[in-house]
Amino acid sequence: MTEARFEVSRVVEATPAAVFAVLRDPAGHVAIDSSGMLQSATGSPVSAVGDTFVVHMDRESLGDYPMGKYDVTVIITKYLEDTEIEWTISGQIQPPIRHLYGYGLEPHESGTLVTTYYDWSQIDERYRDKGIFPVIPESALKATLGILARTVSH
């Protein structure tokens, strides 16, 4: 880990395919979000690098910046079915900040070892000294994994 990246893991009692199905679906992103910012999504499940969908956000859930409701476009930057997915976002703030979110999946005797990360090491220089990163705490990643486990485990 670096000072500009959080990474946490958890074993989820589901197959990599079942976990990946949630992660590639815009509605899945909303369903497992622990921040409360993701309100709804528009678009189809992604299947390749470069695919996009729109997420309707509400920053008031974090209570940090008065951005209210806004939309972001999720842009897939890595895609390996049932193994890895990563994305960045583009939205109101331009140029795009270039923070990355992702998941890695590994088969495990109890289901799937899911590793999620939030990486802001590649953010545009103009945002580095603004004091806004990380946008979400490491605990939010852990909470999202808990919601993911609840969502896919039967």
Reported as type and span, the H/E element at residue 95 is: none
Q: How far is CA 58 from the centre of its chain?
A: 15
Sketch out the chain's domains with CATH numbers: 5-152 (3.30.530.20)
Give the pLDDT score at 1: 44
Whether the Cβ atoms of residue 4 and residue 119 lie closer than 8 Å to each other? yes
Give the pLDDT score at 66: 64
Concatenate the DSSP letters of all residues of 11-27 into one string. EESS-HHHHHHHHTSHH
Helix axes 16-23, 138-152, angle to 10 degrees: 120
Pairing of strands 52-58, 5-12: unpaired
Reported in sequence order, the residue ranges of 13-66 that DSSP labels E, i.e. its strands, are: 38-42, 52-58
Whether the Cβ atoms of residue 8 and residue 106 lie closer than 8 Å to each other? no
Mean pLDDT in consecutive groups of 10 residues from the start of the chain, 154 residues: 84 98 97 88 97 88 69 95 95 76 97 96 81 83 96 83
Give the pLDDT score at 100: 94
Give the pLDDT score at 129: 79
Give the pLDDT score at 2: 54
Nearest in space to 85 (alpha carbons), one of 73, 75, 96: 75
